[in-house]
Amino acid sequence: MIPKELVLEIRDRNDIENVIGGFVDLKRTGTNVKGLCPFHNEKTPSFTVFPATQSFYCFGCGAGGDVITFIMKYQNLDYADAVEYLAARAGINIPASSFGGEEKGPSRKRILEMNVCAARYFREVLFSPEGKVGLDYLMNKRKLSPAIIKRFGLGFAPDSPFSMLDYMRKQGYTDEELRSGYFEAISQKTNKPYSIFRNRVMFPIINTAGSVIAFGGRVMDDSKPKYLNTNDTPAYKKGKNLFALNYAKDLCGERLILCEGYMDVIALHAAGFGFAVAGLGTALTSDQARLIAKYTKKVILTYDSDEAGQRATERAISLLSEVGVDVKVLVVEGAKDPDEFIGKFGSAAFERLLDGSRSKFSYRADAVIKKHDISTPDGKLAASKELCAVVAAASSSVERDLNLDEAARLLSIDKKILAEDVERARRKLLKEEKNKLSLEAYTSARGIGDKINPDIAKNLGAASAESAILGLLLAFPEHRAAVASGKIELSPDDFVTAFGRRVFEAMMKLEGSELGFDITLLGEDFSPDEMGRIQRMIRERMMLTENGSAVLTASIDTLKFERAIQTAKDSGDKLAAFEAKRRMIMENKKRIHK
Ligand SMILES: [Zn+2]
């Protein structure tokens, strides 16, 4: 069995859009990506990839899941082989030992202690003759003051495979612990341990509680990889933290700057912009978006303007918008990044730049305009069509009107004329969504001949309540937590279909595990077709606006009643069945009138 942590890392290193794009011709529509489904015959694309949640779903045939499910289905591999396939694609080695038994490693507390010791070591080296090259880089090339170097606890990993390990061993840390903490690896050639961080400037990563949880190391020239970060350890999970949030959290209430690299963040802090943070070597994750939403309502993105940067920006816009954070995009002109801009033009000019950062609509509109030559009628028509679709996608009418103004100005087309096109695009969009929903409703309402969940036909009411409950629990961590803690009462015995019960049990087992719930981990126990059904339950919820705990408790009540009716019927007690039904109707009436 491949360790769950490793499975998650392998998934994270295989961007779903990238992987599927290798097999299916994908086109971008708004925040999502569509193509012709490889699993059924179709002429108009209903196969959709959702980069924000790293999932896919086909509204035509119900195929769906994550990147592992896709490879299982597409390459016809079993789960372990699909994971291995993706590991090879990302250049990740699955250690042979991971197929054997589990070994027990050091605790989180021990790793945190070791991190403090390592941070002290790196800092001491930086200010010693061995670290001169690092200090030169930070002070002369990056123009950092000793005060800011100390504030961020920067250090230096010497260009030696052994120095750091020798030091740490003397402090009482074993080789096993050093490996768990991601300081030591074993050379495949010589079979000897060596130090992972070498000849790099070191950045301790400190969580909001003030613990050193990991490290990032940066090279001082152009060699690769530019940044090397701590992999998952018992004290650190990738994609769940942000660099410098420990400082920024008290200053970012009004706005937060999200940067690409550690150096950008440090330069901004040094220039007086202490509300800057950076991701840690991965594209923004939904966990990070939720973390950000805890501290601020507005984020200014400052990613690079190259293609990778644009994709990162799009992804961040979707993820942050989903958690209700207002997103603006900073456009740096006359310099390659904020650091260089401040060096050239000063802090006051950067402050003005921040104030003038673009709305997410302007940013997207800009990308559309750049793509087409709007000096030609054809180019203008194509650009206007795309822009109208972007305007139409906004759910607030005030937002649509503001965006319409801007689109009209950008294209030099009369606003009234453009408004008609937007209205048409909007009607089309609403109709599409309605069709999708009624198709879903039609197929799930019948439930007859359902291979994945054959029990549906037995009790349609209960099955649809189950699907609502599971969709809510799968998509929203707060609902899972409420059920796991017993705040909301729900047990496996409440479920009517065997499939629903299995999904619930597997989900709650993971929720209670150290790693926590992650939909990818269901892939081990559920077939690709079942994963598609699980994805459908999530998609159905995401298309609805009401997903609060009131909906959850109401669905649980319905399920329990339906179950009571079923039990009464099964035992032949017609009177009890009738009474349960009557009670349910009364309860529903009460709820409607509340
Ligand atoms: Zn399909």
Q: How far is the CA of 132 from the centre of ligand 1 (A)?
A: 59
Q: How far is the CA of 63 from the centre of ligand 1 (A)?
A: 6
pLDDT at residue 499 in the model:
93
Q: How far is the CA of 24 from the centre of ligand 1 (A)?
A: 12
Q: How far is the CA of 523 from the centre of ligand 1 (A)?
A: 19
Q: How far is the CA of 434 from the centre of ligand 1 (A)?
A: 19
Question: From the CA atom positions of the chain, what is the Rg in Å?
Answer: 27
Q: Within 13 Å of residue 97, how many CA atoms lie on the same side as its CB?
A: 3
Q: How far is the CA of 60 from the centre of ligand 1 (A)?
A: 5
Distance of alpha carbon 320 from alpha carbon 333, whole angstroms: 24
- For ligand 1, an ion, list residues with CB under 5 A: 37, 39-40, 58, 60-61
Q: Are 7 and 521 in contact (CB under 8 A)?
A: yes
Phi, psi of 365, rounded to the nearest 5 degrees: -60, -40
Q: How far is the CA of 388 from the centre of ligand 1 (A)?
A: 28
- Fold assignment, 454-593: DNAb Helicase; Chain A (1.10.860)
Q: How far is the CA of 23 from the centre of ligand 1 (A)?
A: 14
Q: Within 13 Å of residue 478, how many CA atoms lie on the same side as its CB?
A: 6
pLDDT at residue 507 in the model:
96
| Contact partners, residue 143, CB within 8 Å, separation at least 6 | 343
Q: How far is the CA of 499 from the centre of ligand 1 (A)?
A: 22
Q: How far is the CA of 439 from the centre of ligand 1 (A)?
A: 14
CATH of 108-229, one of 3.30.9.100, 3.40.50.10420, 3.40.630.10, 3.90.980.10: 3.90.980.10
Reduce the DSSP state of residue 497 to 3 states and report it. coil
pLDDT at residue 340 in the model:
87
Q: How far is the CA of 351 from the centre of ligand 1 (A)?
A: 49
Q: How far is the CA of 36 from the centre of ligand 1 (A)?
A: 8
Distance of alpha carbon 485 from alpha carbon 255, whole angstroms: 34
Q: How far is the CA of 45 from the centre of ligand 1 (A)?
A: 9
Considering the chain, tell me which residue range(s) the CATH 3.90.980.10 domain(s) occupy: 108-229
Q: How far is the CA of 47 from the centre of ligand 1 (A)?
A: 6
Count the helices and strands in the chain (H runs, E runs). Answer: 25, 16
CATH top class, domain 364-431: mainly alpha
pLDDT at residue 245 in the model:
93
Q: How far is the CA of 436 from the centre of ligand 1 (A)?
A: 13
Second CATH level (architecture) for the domain 245-356: 3-Layer(aba) Sandwich (3.40)
Distance of alpha carbon 310 from alpha carbon 13, whole angstroms: 18
pLDDT at residue 47 in the model:
94
Q: How far is the CA of 359 from the centre of ligand 1 (A)?
A: 35
Distance of alpha carbon 174 from alpha carbon 303, whole angstroms: 40
Q: Within 13 Å of residue 444, how many CA atoms lie on the same side as its CB?
A: 21
pLDDT at residue 103 in the model:
47
CATH of 4-99, one of 3.90.580.10, 1.25.40.340, 3.90.79.10, 3.20.20.140: 3.90.580.10
Considering the chain, tell me which residue range(s) the CATH 1.20.50 domain(s) occupy: 364-431
Tens of pLDDT, residue by residue, the chain (594 residues) = 788 889 999 999 999 999 999 999 999 877 779 999 988 877 888 899 988 889 999 988 889 999 999 999 888 778 888 998 899 888 888 776 554 444 457 777 889 999 999 999 999 999 999 999 999 999 999 889 999 999 999 999 999 999 999 999 999 999 999 999 999 999 888 889 999 999 999 999 998 878 899 999 999 988 888 889 998 888 888 788 899 999 998 899 889 999 988 989 999 999 999 999 998 876 788 788 878 988 888 999 998 878 888 888 888 988 888 777 889 999 888 888 888 898 899 999 999 999 988 888 888 888 888 888 888 999 999 999 989 988 887 767 788 898 999 999 989 989 998 999 998 888 888 777 767 666 655 555 555 557 778 777 777 888 889 999 999 999 999 999 999 999 999 999 999 888 999 999 999 999 988 888 999 999 988 999 999 999 999 988 888 778 888 999 999 998 988 888 877 777 777 777 777 777 777 776 666 554
Q: How far is the CA of 64 from the centre of ligand 1 (A)?
A: 9
Distance of alpha carbon 218 from alpha carbon 205, whole angstroms: 13
pLDDT at residue 408 in the model:
92
Considering the chain, tell me which residue range(s) the CATH 1.10.860 domain(s) occupy: 454-593
Q: How far is the CA of 29 from the centre of ligand 1 (A)?
A: 18
Q: How far is the CA of 39 from the centre of ligand 1 (A)?
A: 5
Q: Which residue has the tokens 């103004």?
A: 405
Strands of 161-309 (E only): list them.
184-186, 193-195, 200-206, 212-218, 227-229, 256-259, 276-278, 298-301
